[in-house]
Chains A and B, each alone.
Chain A
């Protein structure tokens, strides 16, 4: 059974650029969630996708957007990058219902 994978591992961008982060869900999982973890903080919920539709969103602006594909893999897109977007971005997959989320290793984004 393959766990949750994320790519790339690290990424450096400059302010104003756009970035796409990718996540492959654990086999059989139909729900994917994205979190932002700033240095020294707990993860903050960005949004969740189920069956290719966003079905929950945290307190993040519209320049944070996502996609879920038929194979349940997912992308997180961030437009007009700001310095404060520098963080570890975590993807988590799960089955819908009372089930735990399984996290990937994260993508470290640095915005200069």
Chain B
């Protein structure tokens, strides 16, 4: 069965500091991978996605993620965090074939301090 693990429930960083959110997955083949962001009471916004090709993926709002097959990881990074980045971040995967069920991790809540 496919699964996504986000080991950090809550992360606090200072504004301007770098950020890395961890994501590990379990799946029999190479999945499609996503990072979404959710502000309180809001829906999910796609930050970036990996389907194939270059393993370093650029997204919106200055985020990037690197797919590492050997580590079954897809960590999200940002070189300099802004106060507006405070939100909850979800890593997700779906089958690379068949129907489009997306499996989400439990999320990492990011707090940004001045």
Bound complex: CA of A104 vs CA of B43, how far in Å?
Answer: 6
Q: Which residues of B contact A (CB under 8 A)?
A: 4, 32, 34, 36, 41-46, 49, 51, 90, 92, 96, 98-107
Whether B43 contacts A58 by the Cβ 8 Å rule is no
B106 contacts which chain A residues (CB < 8 A)?
Answer: 41-42
Question: Interface size on A (CB < 8 Å)?
Answer: 27
State the main secondary structure of chain A at its contact with B.
Answer: strand
Q: Which 9 A-B pairs have the closest CB atoms?
A: A42-B104, A56-B99, A103-B44, A103-B43, A105-B43, A45-B101, A42-B106, A43-B104, A55-B99
Best-buried of A33, A42, A100, A106 by chain B (most CB within 10 Å): A42
1/0 per residue, CB under 8 A from B, across A14-54: the answer is 00000000000000000101010000011111001010000
